Amino acid sequence: MSMLAEYNAGPAPYTSDLWDAGRPRRLGILINPQSGTTQHSLQPLLQILDRYKSAIHRLVVGPKDVSDALAEMAAQQVEVVAVCGGDGTVHAALTALFHASPFTVRPPVVLIAGGTTNMTAADVGMEGKPIRALERLLAWSDGRGPAGRRIRRAILRVDCGPDSTPRFGMFFSAAGIVHVTRVRRATRRQARSGLMRGGLGTAVTVGRYLVGLALGRRVVEPTPIAVRLDGELHGTHNYLALLITTLARLNPGIRPYWGKEDGPLRYTAVSYQPQDLLRAAPSLISGRPSRYLTPEAGYTSRNIHEAVLQVETACALDGQILTSEPSHVLTVSYGGEVDFVRL
């Protein structure tokens, strides 16, 4: 079946097609027992897996666990890889799949939202809590159940220097976004309800920062970044936020990009102290062009192939902090594509 357009806010490749259960498929499942949602349902998940001997499952915590498990699954001819964990576990799996390349042909990936925020899984993963999602996945892999939807997405490659290992993921962030990420981790640990530990809590945290900025408060420090996009120099400026992503939407349903170019990566940057932030916020969040969202006012969005950034502070990929030396040059580029399966 030919690919069908799934999301088209510019020409970046977001496509999907139907994928019938049809026949049994060899399934490999990575489970992070320390991820936010998974740790509360680990035993029921393992009990379900005990009934499906054809599915290989491995408990993984760090990147080495993930890489070793995927190498083992490749040797056992796994056809579909599932990840039950948070954004960090997905990031580790993508890095292993692309950098170590244990599979001759890269398998489709299924994401089960087993973390706390689950931004990647919310966009290209399965709906529902881990137990119900796992039951649907196992039935599908057994050749039963409804057809799945295969979604093809571009992946980011991040190089932090000539001697560093490339990292692969779907959401790169710098400047104030990294500061908010760190604050959010602290507030999540203190939250008493599941809602405040998830997407709602993230929205509240971001909202507080937006209000503070709109009132002229110095809630985050300016971040100087030298930017080059697809070979074009954009100079060094102070930034409030900078992101590069291949996700169609961010938690909680935010789509802050409105570029029209042909590149597979969505780049959005907001300068420090942008004009009319409160008036621009609705358009910025939804990605709908407006008279407020202009480079002159401090708002830039483009579809690109590569960004070269000279940064002096930490950046993050899928919420995982990337360490780099001061004034280090960091490259974010197109890293390839993955087929995700939603059931």
Q: Give the CATH number for residue 301.
A: 2.60.200.40
Q: What is the pLDDT of residue 4?
A: 36
Reduced to 3 DSSP states, what percent helix, strand and coil does the chain have, rounded to the nearest 5? 30, 30, 35
Based on the fold, state whether residues 232 and 134 are members of the same structural domain: no
134: enclosing H helix or E strand: helix 130-141
The answer to whether residue 44 sits within a structural domain is: yes
For residue 10, tell me if it sits in a domain: no
* Listed residue (5, 2, 12, 11) closest to 334, CA to CA: 12
Provide the pLDDT for residue 147. 84
Give the global pTM. 0.89
Q: Is the dihedral of CA 259, 261, 266, 271 positive or negative?
A: negative
Please state, as a whole number, how many other Cβ atoms lie within 10 Å of the Cβ of residue 187.
Answer: 15
Residue 201: predicted pLDDT = 59
Structure confidence at residue 261 as a pLDDT band (50, 70, 90): very high
Per-residue pLDDT tens for 147-160? 889 999 999 999 98
Number of domains comprising the chain: 2
Q: Are residues 124 and 173 in the same domain?
A: no
**CATH number (domain holding residue 62):** 3.40.50.10330
User: Does residue 318 belong to any structural domain of this protein?
Assistant: yes
Of 92, 122, 146, which closes a domain? 146
Alpha helices, DSSP H, located in 20-109:
42-50, 63-75, 87-95
Exposed e or buried b per residue across 277-289, where buried means at least 16 C-beta atoms within 10 angstroms of its C-beta: beebbebbbebee
In terms of pLDDT, which residue wins out, 144 or 69?
69
In a domain, 213, yes or no: yes
> pLDDT band at 291, cuts 50/70/90?
very high
Do 76 and 203 share a domain, yes or no?
Answer: no
pLDDT in tens, 188-224: 555 555 555 555 556 666 666 666 666 566 778 889 9
Q: Is residue 342 in a domain?
A: no
Structural domain contains residue 206:
yes
Residues 169 and 256 in one domain: yes
Confirm if 153 and 125 have CB atoms less than 8 A apart: no
**Confidence tier at 94 by pLDDT (50, 70, 90):** very high
Question: Is residue 56 located within the same domain as residue 119?
Answer: yes
Pick the last residue of a domain from 85, 119, 146: 146
Same domain, 78 and 172: no
Question: CA 248: distance to chain centroid?
Answer: 10
pLDDT higher than threshold 80 for residue 186:
no
* E strand or H helix at 240: strand 232-245
pLDDT given at position 3: 36
Phi, psi of 39 (to 5 degrees): -65, -20
Same domain as 294, residue 330: yes
Residue from 52, 79, 83 nearest 66 by CA = 83
Residue numbers of the domain that contains 38 = 21-146
Domain end call among 146, 166, 192? 146
Whether 124 and 238 map to the same domain: the answer is no
Same domain, 189 and 298: yes
For residue 8, the model assigns a pLDDT of: 44
Q: Are residues 131 and 56 in the same domain?
A: yes
Same domain, 131 and 205: no
Domain identity same for 203 and 330: yes
> Dihedral through CA 72, CA 140, CA 89, CA 65, nearest 10?
-20
